[in-house]
Structure 1
Amino acid sequence: MAVPPPWPGHAPIAGAGIPVSPAYVPRFAAPPGGGWGGGASWSPYARGPMPGVVPPRPPVPPRARGPRAPRTPWWQRDGVISRILAVAGVAVTLIGVVMLLVLAAQAGFFGPVPRVAAGAVFSAVLVGAGARVFGRTGGRVGGIALAATGIAGAYLDVVAVTAIYHWLHPVLGFAVALGVAAGGVGVAMQWRSQPLAVLVVLGAALLSPVLTTGLVLLAFLIVLQLACMPVHMVRKWPYLHAARTVPAVLATFVFVAGAVLDSPAPGERVWLLTAAAAVALVGLAGTIVVVRRAPTDLTASLMTALATVPMLTAPGMYHQRLSAVIVASATAAVLLLVAAVPMVPKLREQARIPAHTAGVAAVAGSIAVLEACLGATRPHTLPIAWFLVALAFLGVAGQHRSRVAAGIGAIFAVLGGFALLNVAGPGILASQQHSEMILGVATVLGAVLALEVVAVALWCARRLPGTATSSGVQWIAASAAGLYAVTATTVSIGVATGARNGFLIGHSAATILWMTGATAALLFGLRRLASSPAVTRLALGSGLLVTAAALAKLFLFDLATLDGLVRVAAFLIVGVLLLLAGTRYARTFAEVGAGRDSGDAAAR
């Protein structure tokens, strides 16, 4: 007999007689309609994870991968072989044009007129064929190659007519060459093809030295450099910028370097200087044109740096110091003027010269300043010149927060320091005989400027962004440089006065000034003890180091070298300053301790 359900709405489980609610499903029950043998897959986690049990991660099905497409060999890729063959064809054809113009003349084949006419006709035919092929389907590469060969061949023809046969006056020949190059660049702009312009420039520039190796070669290369400059007003073509700059720079540098190593004629120096100036000016102008449209173009700034190399080498051609100084000074003035333009707000908006271009101009200008200083000074006055330049750059760096100017100023400061050590080294300052022979007014000025450079460098370092204002290494280096500059100043002043004991008085004054500076640093740090612990720590550390240095000098050098009242004065003044510093030091820390004790008592 079936067992009736104990409450309404419930039915017994078949075969068990146990009433179960229809809404209740056991955790391990099979899914509805599936059973254990078919239908939907069953899992004990079907209704969610068990408490405290991490369900297993479902298996990841393998990613369906289709058949990998075979890589096309480079020699089968579209355009690779055609470009290689086109460039090779341009090179070989232009070499043939040069052979027609030069080697045929040497072998006596044809006459000058047939050779030149054949070269011109052949170039015109190539340009026409290039224009015809370029307009057809797939004819871009071939059209560019044919047109580039024809235009470069025409340029070489003009070079031969001017430099070999002298049928054209050089000025007229340069004008015709400029027209040919400008026409080629115009075609490249119309076709929107940077490779066409690059092939024209490189083909003409690389083969022109075969036709002539005289100074006229520099003019033809500068013509190429100049003819391509208008392109950059409307096109961003960095490869063309490099192609038009590098040949002119290399050729001019080779000629100028040869003049530095040899003794050229006076007239040749003038032409070489003119060529170097033209290369630098055209390169600088082209860079400004480029960066006004594309401020992030680093290639343009690099080309400016390269274009200034012949001009920076040019002062070496002159054995007269005045001529070399004038050339270097003029170069420095132009480059530093370009570097200074972005620092003036009104000019910055109009010129739009980016920081990397201004930095390149500043570095190149500083090299020219270095050459001018070397040419205009003697060993005794060289520290004065370099310290003055360092002051100028560090002042600009601090005012405009420029790391480039700060770096240049630091380099000149280091060079000035080495120059000062050359004329007022430790051995000279320690010997009365050598000091009286070498030191003088120039050394005084150099040492005083060294002190000013140290002060301005510290001020500049505090204003530069991201520079630690309380660097211990920075202050230690500045203290050491300042102590040496003070010693050089006082000893040089003592010697320059001509007094009999000037050397001794100078060293005594140096020791006293050392101790005075140490005392000032200690007192300054003690005043900031409560308000600025970091400044106090730095000032007290510097003061104690300088105190130790002053005592070491007093006992190791002054005691053995000085005599009479000079030695007595040094010991007395240093002793009084030590007493003052020690008294103040003890009183300050006693006051701090008393204040701390009273505060603790009040808290209790």
Structure 2
Amino acid sequence: MESGYSLFHAVPMTDQLQDVRRLENEFADAMNRMYAVGNGLARMRAALEVQTATSPDTWSAHAPAAAPTAPRPSHAPAAAAPAPDSRVAPVTPVPPVPAAAPVPSWWQREGAVTRVLALAGAVVTLIGVALLLALAMQQGWFVPELRVALGVLLAVGLVAAAHVVRGRESRLGRSSAAPVAIAATGYAAGYLDVVAVTTVYGWVPRVAGLAIAAVVAVSGLLLARRWDRQLLAVVTVLGASLLAPVVTEGFGDDVSLFVVVLSAAALLVRGDRGWPMLAIARTLPATSLILAGIAVDAGDSAPSRLAIVAAGALTLLAVVGAVSAARHDRTDLVGSAIVAVSTIALLTAFGVHGQTLRTTGFALVAVAFAVALAVSSRGPVGPVPTPLATTFGAISGLSALLAVTSGAPERWVVSGILVTALGYAAAAVTTRSRVTLWVAAGTTVVASVAYLTHPAAYVDLWSARDHDAATALLDSALAGGVAALGAWGVDVVRGIPARIRRLTRVAALIAGLATSAVAVISVGLLLGEALGATSAGFLAGHALATVMWMVTSAWLLLHGLRAESRRALSLRLGLGLAAVSVAKLFLFDLATLDGLWRVVAFIVTGLLLLASGTAYARALERTRLPEATA
């Protein structure tokens, strides 16, 4: 009995001892983890104290003590405790992040006050000079010759003073806006002298006065180039441009030619490279003055053709400057703007003349910019940035459309627009240029809107009788060619997304169906007129158009089964076209057609629907059999 009792109690005692040992091990493991967490927190605290220090003195004064270690539990086994000192990496001091400096006010920035004072001083001085000249004339001070001489001396003295101030700043290693403002005031005073000797006193002819002003402007541009100051060049060009109509007491050919010469001088000084404000200053005022001259001459029976020469030269200078600036800066957009603005003056100059000169001029502008696009798209001139190339292409397309609408007879206007769109689409396919493709897309949109006059005329018999069926047939053939070449161009030009390609194919298919329907109805009308049965030809054309659409729908459904990659698209197009055919049959043909043609349309369309369904089922089954046996 005793041995049994001892054995009975030995088993539970052994289990309890194992539980105690297990709990001790888990407790030791937990303490070791807390010990590691304590060391990690200590290291992080030390690193943060170093980062928040603001100077080396602070580091030394508040140097963190050695990272404290968490006490190791006395009851944990010694072997289970890690050795933190051998594993803890030394803390590297991180230099403090300097605080962001406060942004100073505009008047605290370097050179801001100098520029403001210089500009204000230039304006005030110029006003004072003008008031002095006016007061001298009113009071009769000095003789006129002496007044002009004093004005010239003042202008020369201001420019000389600008040179002195510039030289002194260069020796001291400084640069400010003061010399530029002083020199600009001197050139403005020189312009006032030119006004005095031409308009006020009439001592020199107007052309001579413009020549003197050109000499003053060129000297200012050369000085601006030497000092590399765009502001001085801008002020010089603007002053001379605004002076021109004052000297000539109006607008006209003299002013137009003068501003073109001034623009050419400004272009030769810098070539628009890095000076966008100079490009604007030499183009926008010149364009405005040329347009003002054209407006003055617009009432005459024979407008001056010198405006065309001036506008053409200004446009050429704008193109050269834009290409030069684009080669220097690929992100330049000013060049595109000045080319577009200058072209407005050129197109306006051609637009005020007779039909022959107007149409010829628009056509020449279209060809010139198409050549500019081709030349600038590749070396050695290009390639120019996309915005500038797009501007060239857009101007070419717009000019071509203007040439067609202004010169073509009324009967062939739509045909001319379609031929224009066809030409740009062919150019896009040939050159594979994305910009040319965009121009082709723009002209195609215009051509599509113009073409809508034909299907709109075939809605009822009365309007169809009065419509030109021969022109509609020709335009339908041209429109179909535009749709085909447009889809081809989208396929061959690189960089076009796949979604755009698919949408273009669908749009080309829809355009082809619409143009083919118009062509079939046009043929029916022509045959009906020849046979003396216009009404029958119109009805036959509509019935055949519906049948043709249904045949195309069947072809799409069967073709989609042969090409796995295009099955879904062909199925959708085929079903959609079948739905359109049935809708036309019930909504239009049922109300418009009568007699035999209504019966033919319904019977043939119904038979085609049945045949399409049967053929599609058989073709689908044939495609499934190889898949099942594979």
Inter-CA distance 553–75: structure 2 relative to 1 (3 Å threshold)? closer
Query: Does the aligned pair in 1 maintain the 2:490–2:496 contact within 8 Å?
Result: no
Residue in 2 aligned with 1:441?
Answer: 470
- Once the 2 structures are TM-superposed, how far is the Cα of residue 206 of structure 1 from its aligned partner? 4.0
Counterparts of 1:412-491 in structure 2, within 5 Å, are 412-421=443-452, 423-426=453-456, 428-464=457-493, 465-468=495-498, 473-491=503-521
Structure 2 CA distance, aligned partners of 1:49 and 1:381? Answer: 100
> Which whole-Å deviations, capped at 9, do the CAs of 1:154-195 have from their partners, x for residues lacking one?
244335544555544455444433332222111112222222
Once superposed, what is the RMSD of the aligned Cα atoms?
3.9
Residue in 2 aligned with 1:251?
Answer: 289
| TM-score (norm: length of structure 2) | 0.77
Structure 2 CA distance, aligned partners of 1:540 and 1:511? Answer: 19
Residue in 2 aligned with 1:3?
Answer: none
Residue in 1 aligned with 2:416?
Answer: 385
**Partner of 1:43: helix, strand, or coil?**
coil
Q: 1:509 aligns with which of 540, 544, 566?
A: 544
Letter in 2 for 1:195: L
> Which whole-Å deviations, capped at 9, do the CAs of 1:439-489 have from their partners, x for residues lacking one?
322222222222222222222222342322686654544343333222222
Inter-CA distance 136–572: structure 2 relative to 1 (3 Å threshold)? same
> Which whole-Å deviations, capped at 9, do the CAs of 1:305-362 have from their partners, x for residues lacking one?
22222123334423x333322232222222222112134x5xx324554443222111
**Partner of 1:490: helix, strand, or coil?**
helix
Residue in 1 aligned with 2:613?
Answer: 582
**Partner of 1:136: helix, strand, or coil?**
helix
Structure 2 CA distance, aligned partners of 1:471 and 1:353? Answer: 26
1:552 aligns with 2:552: no
| TM-score (norm: length of structure 1) | 0.80
Residue in 2 aligned with 1:288?
Answer: 323
Q: 2:367 aligns with which of 317, 321, 333?
A: 333
> Which whole-Å deviations, capped at 9, do the CAs of 1:36-84 have from their partners, x for residues lacking one?
xx98453139999989xxx9xx999999688986664432433212111
**Partner of 1:312: helix, strand, or coil?**
helix
Structure 1 CA distance, aligned partners of 2:525 and 2:150? Answer: 81
Residue in 2 aligned with 1:405?
Answer: 436
Query: Does the aligned pair in 1 maintain the 2:158–2:182 contact within 8 Å?
Result: yes
Query: Does the aligned pair in 2 maintain the 1:379–1:419 contact within 8 Å?
Result: no
**Partner of 1:382: helix, strand, or coil?**
helix
- Once the 2 structures are TM-superposed, how far is the Cα of residue 106 of structure 1 from its aligned partner? 7.8
1:82 aligns with 2:120: no
Q: More displaced, 201-210 or 302-311?
A: 201-210
**Partner of 2:177: helix, strand, or coil?**
helix
Letter in 1 for 2:156: A
Residue in 2 aligned with 1:149?
Answer: 185
Inter-CA distance 373–112: structure 2 relative to 1 (3 Å threshold)? farther
Query: Does the aligned pair in 2 maintain the 1:201–1:243 contact within 8 Å?
Result: yes
Residue in 2 aligned with 1:43?
Answer: 69
Q: Which has the higher helix share?
A: 2
Inter-CA distance 597–329: structure 2 relative to 1 (3 Å threshold)? closer
Query: Does the aligned pair in 1 maintain the 2:290–2:345 contact within 8 Å?
Result: yes
1:597 aligns with 2:628: yes
Residue in 1 aligned with 2:59?
Answer: none
Residue in 2 aligned with 1:120?
Answer: 152
How many percent identity over aligned positions? 34
Residue in 2 aligned with 1:297?
Answer: 332
Inter-CA distance 66–538: structure 2 relative to 1 (3 Å threshold)? closer
1:495 aligns with 2:543: no
Inter-CA distance 111–521: structure 2 relative to 1 (3 Å threshold)? farther
Q: More displaced, 245-254 or 468-477?
A: 468-477
**Partner of 2:250: helix, strand, or coil?**
coil
Q: Which runs of 5+ in 2 are unaligned?
A: 1-30, 40-63, 73-77
1:270 aligns with 2:296: no
- Once the 2 structures are TM-superposed, how far is the Cα of residue 205 of structure 1 from its aligned partner? 3.1
Query: Does the aligned pair in 2 maintain the 1:382–1:416 contact within 8 Å?
Result: no
Letter in 2 for 1:510: A
1:176 aligns with 2:212: yes
Structure 2 CA distance, aligned partners of 1:353 and 1:496? Answer: 51
- Once the 2 structures are TM-superposed, how far is the Cα of residue 542 of structure 1 from its aligned partner? 1.0
Inter-CA distance 63–353: structure 2 relative to 1 (3 Å threshold)? closer
Counterparts of 1:299-318 in structure 2, within 5 Å, are 299-318=334-353
> Which whole-Å deviations, capped at 9, do the CAs of 1:98-138 have from their partners, x for residues lacking one?
55677866887665534433332221111111111211135
Inter-CA distance 546–117: structure 2 relative to 1 (3 Å threshold)? same
Query: Does the aligned pair in 1 maintain the 2:556–2:573 contact within 8 Å?
Result: yes
- Once the 2 structures are TM-superposed, how far is the Cα of residue 276 of structure 1 from its aligned partner? 2.4
Structure 1 CA distance, aligned partners of 2:500 and 2:336? Answer: 36
- Once the 2 structures are TM-superposed, how far is the Cα of residue 229 of structure 1 from its aligned partner? 0.7
> Which whole-Å deviations, capped at 9, do the CAs of 1:500-521 have from their partners, x for residues lacking one?
1321222223223222322322
1:232 aligns with 2:270: yes
**Partner of 2:380: helix, strand, or coil?**
helix
Query: Does the aligned pair in 2 maintain the 1:249–1:307 contact within 8 Å?
Result: yes
Letter in 2 for 1:123: A
Structure 1 CA distance, aligned partners of 2:599 and 2:417? Answer: 38
Query: Does the aligned pair in 2 maintain the 1:156–1:208 contact within 8 Å?
Result: no
Structure 1 CA distance, aligned partners of 2:272 and 2:236? Answer: 19
Counterparts of 1:17-56 in structure 2, within 5 Å, are 40-44=66-70
Query: Does the aligned pair in 1 maintain the 2:370–2:393 contact within 8 Å?
Result: yes
Letter in 2 for 1:502: G
1:214 aligns with 2:225: no
Structure 2 CA distance, aligned partners of 1:64 and 1:231? Answer: 51
Residue in 1 aligned with 2:397?
Answer: 366
> Which whole-Å deviations, capped at 9, do the CAs of 1:352-395 have from their partners, x for residues lacking one?
54443222111122222222222123554232122222222223
Query: Does the aligned pair in 2 maintain the 1:225–1:244 contact within 8 Å?
Result: yes
Q: 2:355 aligns with which of 317, 321, 335?
A: 321
Q: 2:567 aligns with which of 536, 539, 546?
A: 536
Letter in 1 for 2:497: T
Letter in 2 for 1:549: V
Query: Does the aligned pair in 2 maintain the 1:312–1:367 contact within 8 Å?
Result: no
Query: Does the aligned pair in 2 maintain the 1:475–1:542 contact within 8 Å?
Result: no
Query: Does the aligned pair in 1 maintain the 2:375–2:381 contact within 8 Å?
Result: no
Query: Does the aligned pair in 1 maintain the 2:272–2:322 contact within 8 Å?
Result: no
Structure 1 CA distance, aligned partners of 2:234 and 2:400? Answer: 35
Inter-CA distance 563–331: structure 2 relative to 1 (3 Å threshold)? same
Residue in 2 aligned with 1:342?
Answer: 376
Inter-CA distance 342–561: structure 2 relative to 1 (3 Å threshold)? same
Structure 2 CA distance, aligned partners of 1:453 and 1:296? Answer: 34
